[in-house]
Amino acid sequence: DTAVSQTPKYLVTQMGNDKSIKCEQNLGHDTMYWYKQDSKKFLKIMFSYNNKELIINETVPNRFSPKSPDKAHLNLHINSLELGDSAVYFCASSPWGLGTEAFFGQGTRLTVV
């Protein structure tokens, strides 16, 4: 009964490749997010979607393209991967407008070599 699930958990790829990370939530939440955690453990918002509509885009390079086919899914596609993209990427979800906590997936550790 995983609430927020991401696949894959680990991703190792070469520079220049294109890769996708998938996220699904079964909590019925309206809002989904992508966060990036860098090597110093700092967590920063990348995108948020509410009911498939992009709400937040925090000056992320346009090589990163989120896609939300429905409100239960938010995928992240990354083109032309660079070494600096190596990080842990977290998907999260929350109800809209209630100020409640976000529920996180288990993270995807992306390593670009």
Using rule CB under 8 A, residue 3 touches other proteins: no
The residues in 44-103 that bind other proteins, with binding defined as CB under 8 A, are 44-45, 48, 50, 55-56, 58, 88, 90, 92, 94, 96-103
Q: DSSP for the chain, please give it.
A: --SEEEE-SEEEE-TT--EEEEEEE-S--SEEEEEEE-TT--EEEEEEEETTEEEEE-S--TTEEEEEEETTEEEEEE-S--GGG-EEEEEEEE-TTS-PPPEE---EEEEE-
Distance CA 68, CA 66 (A): 7
Taking CB under 8 A as the rule, does residue 107 contact other proteins?
A: yes
**Residue 103 Cβ, how far from other proteins at the closest point, in Å?**
8
Q: Which is nearer to other proteins, 20 or 96 (CB)?
A: 96
User: How many residues of this chain interact with other proteins, rule: CB under 8 A?
Assistant: 30
Contact residues: other proteins, CB under 8 A: 31, 33, 35, 40-45, 48, 50, 55-56, 58, 88, 90, 92, 94, 96-104, 106-107, 109
